[in-house]
Structure formats: C-alpha cells, structure tokens
Structure 1
Amino acid sequence: MLQELSIKNFAIIDHLQLSLESGLTVLTGETGAGKSIIIDALHLLVGGRGSVEYIRHGEKKAEMEGLFILDDHTHPCYQKATEFGIDIEDGMVVLRRDILSSGKSTCRINGKLVTISILREIGGTLIDIHSQHEHQALMNESLHLSFLDQYGSSEIAAALCNYQEIYKQYERVEKQLHQLYDNEQEMAHRLDLLQFQRNEIQTAELQIEEDELLSQEKQKLLNFGKLYEAMQTSYEAIQGEQRGLDWIGHVMSQLETAAEIDIQHQALKETVTNSYYMLEDAARTIRNELEQLEFDPNRLNQIEERLNEINQLKRKYGASIQDILTYCAKIDEEIEKITNKENYIEELQQTLNSIEQDLFLEAKHLSSLRKKWAKRLTNAIHHELKQLYMDKTVFEVYFQSPMMDNNHRVRYRKNGVDIIEFYISTNPGEPLKPLAKVASGGELSRIMLALKTIFSQHQGITSIIFDEVDTGVSGRVAQAIAEKIYQVSLHSQVLCISHLPQVAAMADTHLYIAKSTAKKRTSTSVNILDKHEQVKEIARMISGVEMTDLTIQHANELLELAYTIKND
C-alpha cells in the first residue's frame, strides 16, 4: 500500500504530506480545490509524462515522493527490482521524482538513480490509475491474454511454463535455420572471411602462454647488463680466497673442534656444514649460468616481432591466446556448417519438426486451459455486471484463429498461439464489439469496475486510483458503484476522487481537499474528516451548497447503510 505521500511545489500545492491507510480512501471537495492535482502528482511519481507547467509559479522544481509497503514477498515489484539491481529491504519501496524548471526529471527508487522507463516499470506494479479519460490497461486488447492468465492462476502458469521451455528450444533452432537460409552471396562472403581468419590464426601457430614466456625473455634481454653484473658479483662474493665460502669453511672447521670438546655444539656444526655445501652448490650454479649468459640483439628483435604479431591477433580475435584459439574452434564449426549447408539444414529441420510436435501438444493443452478459464471469467463478469444493473450486458472472451506463416503453418509465439480480446454488448440485440470500442461514460465506468473487482484479486497491484470514474451515474447505479469500489478495496488499497455521496459514505478514510489564499498565493490543503465532519461533507455533496435537516438525515442514512454493507 501507499503509506506516505509528499508533494511539494506542484501546481497550486505548496507542501502536502499525507499518511494514507489501507482500504478505501475517498477524496472529496469543491471543484478546483486540487483533488485531481494530487492524482496528477501520483501519476508523475510512477513514471507519467512530466512538464514544467506542473512546477508551482516562482519555484525551481516540483518534488514528489511516496513510500510503499509490500506485505507479500511474491509481489511483482520484487522481480522488477531485482531485474534493475534495486534492493528492497523490509518490504519498503520509496519512489521519488523531481521535475526541474529546465524540463529535466530526476528519478530515484530506494535512493538509486533510475531512468523514467525504469520508474514507469516499477511504478506500474505499485499503482494503477484509472480516470474517465485515460486509456487503461483493461482497455488495451494486447494485455487481455495476460489478464486471463492471471485469472487462471497456477494452473495456466504451470502449462505456460512448460510451453515456454520448449518454445525456447524451438526459437533457437528456427533462428539457426533462418541464418542458413540467408542470401547465398552473403554466405559466400561470410565463408571467405572465416577462412581468411582461420588461416591467419593457424599460420601464427600460437602456443598457450607463449606471450607470457616471451615477455619474460624480453625483460631478461632488456636488463642483460644488470643481470650479468649481479650474477658476477654474487659469484665473486661467495667463491674465492678470503670470500664467503672461505670464511664459512673456517667457521665449519672451528665448530668441528668445539663439537669434539662439547657435544652440545654438534647441531650447530651440522647447520653450518650444510650451509657450506649449499652455498658451494649455489656458486657452481651461478658459474654455469654465467657461462651460458649471452646477449643476442637479434633474439630481442625476434621477440618484439612475435609479440607484435600476437598482439595484433588479440586485437582481432580475443584478449588472450586461449580466447583466440577458442574463437578459431568456433570458426571451424561455422565453416563446417556453411560448407555442408544442405546436410546441416536437413538435420536442423528434422530437429525442428520433432520439437514442433512437442510444442504443438503443449500449445493445445495451454489453449484448452485458457478456454476453460475464459468461461469461468465470463460467468464471473456477468455476475458482477448484474450487481451493477447491467444484467442485459453480454461479455465474451473472443479467441481469434491462430496466426499462420507463409507456409500456412501455425505461428508460435512466446505466450502460446492464442490471440484473445474482450468483447461486450451493452444492449440486447446489439452485436458484440471489442471492449476498447465501447462508448465511454456511465456504462464504461461500470464495466471497468466489474473487471477491476475480479482482476484486483489477481493483478497484485498495491494501490488502485479512481479519478471521478463515477461521473454520469446516480440513484441505485451510484450505490452499486460505491459497493463495487469498496469490494475492490478489500484486495487493494483504493484512493477514489468522487462527487457521489454514496461512494463517500463507503470510505474507510475520508479526506477533504480545500484551497485557500494567503499572501496572494493559492494553496491546497488536505484534512481527515471525523464522523461529524463526514456527515456534513456528505450532506453538502447531496444538496450542493445549502444543507438542511433533511440532507443531514439522508447523509446519516447513507453512512448507516454503508456500515451495514461493510459488516454484512
């Protein structure tokens, strides 16, 4: 749910801080007080299109921030957040958006800077805003299949998962076939390029770690003088008269005498003796290496040329010799495929046909499940519409024929072969038409509410916003709409701007929006109404400006009716 909302320097709002509750929150107030401005701010907070026109006159930026609390760890927001590298701790998601006077926007999610598109994707899992004039997800036929799948819950989800596993294999093999069917001239050019690359790599006769060994040898040749001097000095320090070995030999002789006198010095004598012979071996090794040391300027040139050749190959084919050789192996495979194209195509086609048989069975099973759940959805929507006094309305989940390719074969897609759209007829005798083309107004509001009542239990949306969706209705229909909005709030937090007293009476929290003028500036304020204030506000909504004892009585009756409905 949306727990905290902060709006600053937005239109006529100076600074607004709201603490919101779960259930149904109704916002009422005079026309122009700023009710829809709050919804506009929420729309921008979740990635809507911004404009500098929203910034309060005389200010440099508008600021919006919202704290959402997620109680369910399977909420779709978690998956989206993981996808974009955003951490969610303790189920808290903080969205923030600043609109600058320069026209730019700064967006953050849990303190991390994000793009507008990411904010929109994350925000779309948290808030669904429905207004009378805005094209919503339920009106978008491309999303109807996903709504049906959500309604079908785990049964459809399991079948869809099985289908998509096989579809991935099908898509991979089909892509390979398409590549082989590409233009013959392009394939010939590709073959020439690959053969040139393979020849270049094979001619180089690369060896694993060759570059490292050559670099070490190059370093040795570049520092030959220092190396020779160090080895020569080391040898002279150890070997020769009055040098290291001479003195250690003298020590060894003296310790032998000491050990004969006192056996406790025997270990010390052995240590020095071992050191003497080890140094003697070291001196011999140094001498042999000195004899072999030889500076060859031609060898240095050869190493430079070889390293340059290897580096050129690295720039073309990989960061290391191992990468180059791995790339060469891939080239061999591709050359094999191209030169034996016909055989390979035949093998791939057989594989694709085998996969397609399995895919067809999974698609058929998935489609049958969707049709079963479509009937249940149809019955559920008819039930909801009947309660909204649209019992003559006919709803249908229309399944189009699967799309076919140029060879008259079924065109498989990521989510199956089904193409569906919601159709509806609001008047007896009228043909069914796509839901997206149904006339707007009171009928559209009721249809939307029927769908929202059902889908709110399956969509996982944290908060649903209704912005004057009850316009154009009255009487018993208004009461029915109020009850439906309340039903939606049982599964998702609902914020509703309304001019209907019936809707206001159903509120768990009633907010009154007002505007005032101070120091020649207009500001919007929000007040939580207590029971007495709520009665007065509902009475005002009934009568307009002048309240009478009768309208007060009517307001109390509406509240009592709402209480009965909620506790029924």
Structure 2
Amino acid sequence: MLEELNVRNYALIDTLSASFERGLTILTGETGAGKSIIVGALSFLLGAKADTTVIRTGSEEASVSAVVSISEGNRDVLTWLTSRDIEAEDRRIIVRRSIKTNGRSSIYIQDVPVTRNDLEEFMALLFDLHGQHSHESLLRKESHRKFLDRFAGLEEEAAAFNRIFTDLADKRKALDGLLSNERDRDARLELLRYAVEEIDKAAVKSGESRDLEIESRRLASFEKLAGHMNAAGDAFFDGETSGLDLIRRARSSLEAAAAIDSDLGALQQRMADLYYEAEDLAEEFRGYRDGLRDEPGRLEEVEERLALLYRLRKKYGSAEAVPEEDGILAYKAEAEAEIEALSNAGENRGKLSAEIALLEKEIAQRAAALGEKRRAASLKLGERITGILTGLGMPNARFAVGVNPKVRAADPEGEAARGQGRPSSQQSLPGRQASLVIGPWGAEDVEFLISANTGEPVKDLSRIASGGELSRVMLAIKTVLAGTDSSSASFGSSASKRSADSQETLVFDEIDTGIGGEVALAVGEYLSKIGKIKQIFCVTHLASIAVRADNNLKVEKKTSGGRTATSISMLSADALRKEIARMLAGDAAGTAALAHADELLAKYRK
C-alpha cells in the first residue's frame, strides 16, 4: 500500500508531500490543475521511461520517493526482496528515483541501487496503473492474448513457449545457411584454404610490424644514430673530462668531507647512489653503442617484410586490431573454424535436422496444451467481465473472448520450402486443405468481443464499443486481473492468484471517460466496493464518483513569485462540499449547487 509520496521539481510540481490511507482515494481539481502530473510522477516511480523533460524548469534534478507498506502475506514481493538481499523494516520500504539535467539517473529500493527494469518489475508486483490512454490497448489484438494469459496464470508458460519457438526459428535459419553454403561450399573452401595457407606461409607473428618499423628507422639513419651515440659516450664516460669522472671525483671528495662532519653522511650516501647508477647507465650505454652494426641489405629485407604484412593486413586484417597482425591471425582462426564446419556440413546438417524435428514435435505439443488452457480460461474470463459490466450500467452486455486457431490455405510449395529450412516467424502443421499455423505465442489468435445490446451477436470490441464502454471494459479487466472481483479465487493457478493479490494498489487516471448519469453512479459504486479490498486511487471529473471516496484530495495550480506550481491537499468536510458543488455546476458557492452536493454526500457518503 502507498503510504507516502514525495515529489520534488517534477514538471509543474515544486515540492509535494502527501500521506495516503486505505480504501478509495479520489483526486479532483480543475482541468489543467496537474492531476495527471501527479499520476505521471507516480508512473515515474513505478519504472516508466523518462527523460530530462520531466525536470521542473530552472532545477537540476527531479526526484520522486515513496513509503510503501507490504502486507504480511505478500509472498511475491517478499520473495523478490529476499532474492536481492533487500530487507523491509516493519514491512515498509522506501523507493526513490531521480533524474538530473545531464541525463544521469539513480534508483534505490531501501538503500540498494537497482536498475529501471528491476524497479519496473518490483513495482508491478505492488501497483497497477491505468492511465488515460490505457484503454487503447483494448483496441490492439496483440494485447488481448496478454490479458488472457495473465488471467489464466499462463504468462510463464507462454514465455517458455516463445523461447522454444525462437530456438526453432534460429535452428531453421542455421540449417538454411548450411544448405546455402553447401551449394557454394567447394568455392568457399578453396578461398578459405588459400587464405590460411598464405598466412601460414608468411609466419605472421603478433606485434612484429611494430618491431620492424623501429628497426627500419634505425637502419635508414644508421650514420646519424652512431654519431649521436659516440658524441654522447665521449661526454659521459670516454672523454678526458667525462661526466662519470666528475661524479667519481665528487664522490671521493664528499667521502672525505663526511669523515670530518658526520652531518654530511646522508648527502654522501646519495652521491654514492648517484655514482653507482651512473656506472650502470654507462655499462648499458656501451652495450647499445658497441652493438650498433651497419648491415648492408638488411634494410631492404625489413622493408619487404613490412610490405608483405601490409598486404596481408589489407586482405585479411581488421582496422580495430592492435597490434595489426592480430587481425590477420583472427581471420585465420575464423577461416579454420569455417573450414571445419564446411568440411563437416553433412554431419552438422543431420544434427540440426534431428534437433529441428524434436523441437517441432515439442512446439506442437506445447501449442496444443497452451491452446486448451486458453480456451478454458476464455470462458471464465468472459463470464467474469460480463458479470462486472452488468453492475457498471451495461445490463445487456455480453463479453466474450475468442480463441481461434491460426490457419492458412494449403501451400505445397511454401511447405516444401519450409521443409528445406527456410526461416519463418511462423511454423505450420500440414493438413489436407489447410495448415495450422503456430506463431511465436501459440497456435491461436485471441480477440475480445462484445455485444452491448440484447439479441446482437458479439463483434470486434474495437468496432462497436464507445469510449465509455471501453473505459468500463478496462475497469472490469483490471479488477479481474487484480483479483478484486468476487469470484477471483475460483480460477487460475496458485501462482496467478499470488501475482494478482500482490498488487495492493490500483490507480485509475480518468476512468470516467465518456460516461455520466446512472453509469457514473454504477462506476462509483463499483470503485467503492473494490476499495474495500484494495487501495484505489482514481482521478475523476464526476461528482457522482467523487462522493464515493473514503479520502478526497484536491489538486490545485497556484502562482507565487512569478512561478506556477501544483499542490495537493486533503479536503475537509466543508471543502469537500464546495468541491462537489464545483464539479456539479462549476460554482462552489451557489446555493443550488451546494444543496445538490449535500444531497449526494448524504446519500452516498457513509
């Protein structure tokens, strides 16, 4: 349950802090006051994608935090926390998320940093948010399958099916690649073997071009190099007054002085160290100078070798490889692996074909089992939603979930091509007249259907439902999936029940779109009922829904110091009376509006 929400510098919000209770909490306010901004801030905390545009103008950072309590029996949430070594205190956790103007963001659950995906996964166990445009998902048939699978507790099974389907498609693609390669295998093998032989013959070594380039520069400027080294040697140790002789004399004199004044001991030791270091340096210097040789013909050999390596790099190398020869050697290793694969193509093809056959059998069995479970669940879901719609002002409505096999006309050439390994996003099971198509998520299309009037057949939801009907259908679906309808415990796996029950808070942003009158009264009554089971937040413009609230909050936009800010406050009894009057007639002080507000509050406020 959401106990506290704190927002700083988010959109029009400067600083906002609010505490919440159980039951149905209604947020009201003038259009544009910022009700949806508050829902947006909560959505940000639930893990929604966001960028720096959410930061209030003139601020460096936007942040949203919340205190969330967890019921003792909420195993899904407690298991998630335990798996990440996060400990709740008194069954409460603090969740924080912030974003800075430089794009950097931070997310913490308690004091543990987490990713946005982790945040989204965790908060989805506690909250279900229905935004202003969420009903649009009802118009997308791909969402219908997800709703049905969630209701039936089939999400994990469907995900496993999808993984196997993807594996099968990948193996078919790999087999197709082998078959294509076999057609050009001989030519490819000849090319690869020539490349390996050429690289082997060159005896390429990692980093050798770098050493050769150094040697090339030394040989090309041998006379200058030898002259510089001889001049340096004369100055350092071969000349009559060489540097090494001067250091030796200084060391001898300082030793004599230190014998007289012991305070010179440290200085004398440093001079001795300098002398020994100079002797070592002179020894290495002599070794290098005496080893210099002018080798006629060697420069030509080095340059020929560099030219060969350059040609090989151009043919087989990689611009990213450092040293450059590593790219050549990597190409050789890849070529050898491909040679082995092509040489064993027959064996690999047979192995892949056998794996594909097993996967095809498994995918067919899984598709059949998944389809059977979906068809059974579709009847229950249709009954549940129809029952809820009856209480939401649609007494003649009939909601159904169509689960229809994916089929297409027989295509012998297409089936033969797929048998040859052509990759496809769908798999087919052949039949006489048509084939059953297995897609990434099963062998059936799921579609929501509705009839709003007695005697009319059910039809595509998107073609016949009005905005108000869509809002009520979505409200029904959300409450069924959240486990708040009266029969929620009678269907679905235990895992799906736990997942539904874990969502302790439901958020509805303007669920009243397109409704009014008696329908609004029915929606208000229904929200009040589920508010006895869950914590409900609802943004509304309808007084007939607002009067049902256990807690009423008003969102206002205020201007101070030339800046506009959104605020939120709990309404007192008198303030609530005026707010209901405003919602009824646009006049918070009118006698008639206040009288009507008093009537509604007396009738529906318990």
Give the TM-score of the pair, scaled to structure 1: 0.64
Q: Distance in 2 between matches of 1:337 and 1:55?
A: 55
- The one-letter amino acid of 1:5's match is N
SS in structure 1 at match of 2:396: coil
Q: Equivalent residues in 2 for 1:391-406 (5 A)? A: 391-402=395-406, 406=414
Q: Equivalent residues in 2 for 1:194-273 (5 A)? A: 194-196=192-194, 198-199=196-197
- Residues 230-274 of structure 1: CA deviation (Å, up to 9, x unaligned): xxxxxxxxxxxxxxxxxxxxxxxxxxxxxxxxxxxxxxxxxxxxx
- Residues 482-517 of structure 1: CA deviation (Å, up to 9, x unaligned): 233345556664321113333223323211223444
Change in Cα spacing, 1:436 to 1:181, as seen in structure 2 (3 Å) is farther
Change in Cα spacing, 1:510 to 1:170, as seen in structure 2 (3 Å) is same
- The one-letter amino acid of 1:16's match is L
State the 1:401 CA deviation. 3.1
Aligned match of 2:480 in 447, 454, 471? 454
Q: Distance in 1 between matches of 2:8 and 2:359?
A: 55
Please tell me whether residue 482 in structure 1 is matched to residue 524 in structure 2. Answer: yes
Range with bigger deviation, 106-115 or 355-364? 106-115
State the 1:555 CA deviation. 0.9
- The one-letter amino acid of 1:385's match is L
- The one-letter amino acid of 2:29's match is G
- For 1:147, the equivalent position in structure 2 comes to 147
- The one-letter amino acid of 2:38's match is I
Range with bigger deviation, 509-518 or 540-549? 540-549
- Residues 12-53 of structure 1: CA deviation (Å, up to 9, x unaligned): x4432233445432112344433334334445665467686x
Q: Equivalent residues in 2 for 1:149-548 (5 A)? A: 149-153=149-153, 156=154, 159-160=157-158, 163=161, 166-167=164-165, 169-182=167-180, 190-196=188-194, 198-199=196-197, 334-339=338-343, 341=345, 344-402=348-406, 406-407=414-415, 409=429, 411-457=437-483, 463-489=505-531, 493-519=535-561, 522-531=564-573, 533-538=575-580, 540-542=582-584, 544-545=586-587, 546-547=590-591, 548=594
Contact 1:5 1:64 in 2 (8 A): no
- For 1:25, the equivalent position in structure 2 comes to 25
Q: Distance in 2 between matches of 1:63 and 1:398?
A: 48
Please tell me whether residue 556 in structure 1 is matched to residue 602 in structure 2. Answer: yes
- The one-letter amino acid of 1:428's match is T
CA RMSD of aligned residues (A): 5.5
- The one-letter amino acid of 1:170's match is L
Range with bigger deviation, 455-464 or 356-365? 455-464
- For 1:35, the equivalent position in structure 2 comes to 35
Q: Distance in 1 between matches of 2:533 and 2:172?
A: 43
Q: Distance in 2 between matches of 1:427 and 1:380?
A: 18
State the 1:434 CA deviation. 3.0
Change in Cα spacing, 1:127 to 1:452, as seen in structure 2 (3 Å) is closer
SS in structure 1 at match of 2:401: strand
- For 1:272, the equivalent position in structure 2 comes to none
- The one-letter amino acid of 2:460's match is P
State the 1:367 CA deviation. 1.1
Change in Cα spacing, 1:97 to 1:187, as seen in structure 2 (3 Å) is farther
- The one-letter amino acid of 1:27's match is L
SS in structure 2 at match of 1:389: coil
State the 1:454 CA deviation. 0.8
Q: Distance in 2 between matches of 1:203 and 1:392?
A: 85
Contact 1:456 1:491 in 2 (8 A): no
- For 1:276, the equivalent position in structure 2 comes to none
State the 1:531 CA deviation. 4.8
Please tell me whether residue 74 in structure 1 is matched to residue 76 in structure 2. Answer: yes
- Residues 105-132 of structure 1: CA deviation (Å, up to 9, x unaligned): 554322999999998888877552421x
- For 1:94, the equivalent position in structure 2 comes to 96
- Residues 330-358 of structure 1: CA deviation (Å, up to 9, x unaligned): 75564344345456435532432233122
Q: Distance in 1 between matches of 2:604 and 2:22?
A: 22
Change in Cα spacing, 1:337 to 1:448, as seen in structure 2 (3 Å) is same
State the 1:363 CA deviation. 1.4
Change in Cα spacing, 1:491 to 1:559, as seen in structure 2 (3 Å) is closer
State the 1:177 CA deviation. 0.7
Give the TM-score of the pair, scaled to structure 2: 0.61
State the 1:396 CA deviation. 2.0
Change in Cα spacing, 1:190 to 1:423, as seen in structure 2 (3 Å) is farther
Q: Distance in 2 between matches of 1:127 and 1:200?
A: 64
SS in structure 1 at match of 2:443: coil
Contact 1:177 1:345 in 2 (8 A): yes
Q: Distance in 1 between matches of 2:335 and 2:320?
A: 11
Q: Distance in 1 between matches of 2:32 and 2:337?
A: 71
Specify every segment of 5 or more residues in structure 1 that has no aligned partner in the other structure, as ranges. 213-295, 561-568
Specify every segment of 5 or more residues in structure 2 that has no aligned partner in the other structure, as ranges. 208-292, 416-427, 430-435, 484-498
Give aligned-pair identity as a percent: 30
Range with bigger deviation, 418-427 or 114-123? 114-123
Q: Distance in 2 between matches of 1:522 and 1:387?
A: 41
- For 2:494, the equivalent position in structure 1 comes to none
- The one-letter amino acid of 1:363's match is A
Q: Distance in 2 between matches of 1:92 and 1:354?
A: 49
- Residues 121-175 of structure 1: CA deviation (Å, up to 9, x unaligned): 88877552421x565444432222222111112xx35644664565465344323
State the 1:478 CA deviation. 1.9
